Amino acid sequence: MSIYQFEVENAYGDKVSLEEFKGKVLLVVNTASKCRFTYQFEELQKLYEKYQKQGFEILGFPCNQFDQQEPGTSDQAASFCQLKYGVTFPMFAKIDVNGKDAHPLFHYLKQEAPFRGFDESNMTEKLVNYPPLINLTV
């Protein structure tokens, strides 16, 4: 099996075969517009703009499984990314990435490249593993 055998739905409900991306370098990310890491969309977009012509693609998959940080529709998530961060890379329909209802693509990705844990000696990984911020706004 390969990643190119999967079919996914884009943010607007159209079916997309990942075969369209064959021969390209893919970065598949699960996203959430209310996440404390949302600012990273800006950096992802810069990365996309820099390397897209060389065959690099970012595929964004909104997910609401992590503290309900993607509460809207797929279309709303894509619109937010486009309007707030200028995202032009493909955004897809909201999916589950974990558990019994996880999309088959994410089952496949986790099987092919399982999570290895965080390296606490690496500052970036230490920050990513840092406990979530508490929202004190009323």
Q: Which of 26, 27, 29, 35 is catalytic?
A: 35
Partners of 26 in the β-ladder: 57
End-to-end CA distance of the chain: 49
Q: How far is Cα 28 from Cα 94, in angstroms, rounded to an integer? A: 13
Partners of 56 in the β-ladder: 25
Q: How far is Cα 50 from Cα 58, in angstroms, rounded to an integer? A: 12
Active site residue 35: yes
Place of tokens 């230490």: 126
Catalytic residues: 35
